[in-house]
Amino acid sequence: MATEIPVGRKVRVKVPGSSANLGPGFDSLGLALSIYDHVEVEVIDSGLEVEVTGEGQGEVPLDERHLVVRAIRAGLKKSDVIARGLRVRCNNSIPQSRGLGSSAAAAVSGVVAANALAGDVLDTDTIIQLASTFEGHPDNVAASVLGSAVVSWTNIPVDGTEPTYHAAPVTVHPDIRATALIPKSHASTEAVRRVLPSDIPHMDARFNVSRTGVLLVALSQDPSLLWEGTRDRMHQPFRAEVLPISSEWVNRLRNQGYPAFLSGAGPTVLVLSTEPVEEALLQEARDRGIRVEELTVAGPVTVEDA
Binding site members for ATP: 95-105
Residue 233 CA to residue 134 CA, distance in Å, equals 27
221: number of Cβ within 10 Å: 11
State the binding site.
95-105
Task: Give phi and psi for 172, each to the nearest 5.
Answer: -100, 135
Amino acid at 128: I
Dist. CA 48–CA 39, nearest whole Å: 15
Choose among 38, 18, 75, 27: nearest CA to 298.
18
- Which residue stretches of the chain are H helix? 67-79, 102-118, 124-132, 139-146, 189-193, 202-220, 226-229, 236-239, 244-255, 279-287
Strand partners, 32: 18
Instruction: Give 90's strand partners.
Output: 39, 52
Chain-centroid distance, C-alpha 118: 25
Helix (H) or strand (E) holding 43: strand 29-44
CA distances from 74 to 77, 122, 132, 273 (A): 5, 12, 12, 38
